[in-house]
Amino acid sequence: MQTLGQKIKELRKEKGLTQIQLAEKLNVNKSTIAKYETDKIEPSLLLLKQIAIFFDVSADYLLGIKEF
């Protein structure tokens, strides 16, 4: 099972975005995206919602509760 960070990284790459581009879209620092993708930190609930909306996936998918 993929971690939250692995899913964010996979979704980002599927959209052809760099970490910097995703950070700009979500209004966070590039280092924050890097930390999410390596599972060093987790996004807040608000940011998790923004990530789900941006990638058009459910929060359940991101959290590993349901598959895509």
Helix axes 45-55 and 19-26, enclosed angle (nearest 10): 110
Specify whether the CB–CB gap between 37 and 8 falls below 8 A.
yes
**Domain boundaries of the chain, sorted by first residue:** 4-63
Helix axes 30-37 and 19-26, enclosed angle (nearest 10): 110
How much of the chain, in percent, has pLDDT values that exceed 90? 93
The CATH number given to 4-63 is 1.10.260.40
Q: How confident is the model at residue 68 (pLDDT cuts 50, 70, 90)?
A: low
Helix axes 4-14 and 30-37, enclosed angle (nearest 10): 120
Reported as a single tens digit per residue, the pLDDT across 12-40 is 999 999 999 999 999 999 999 999 999 99
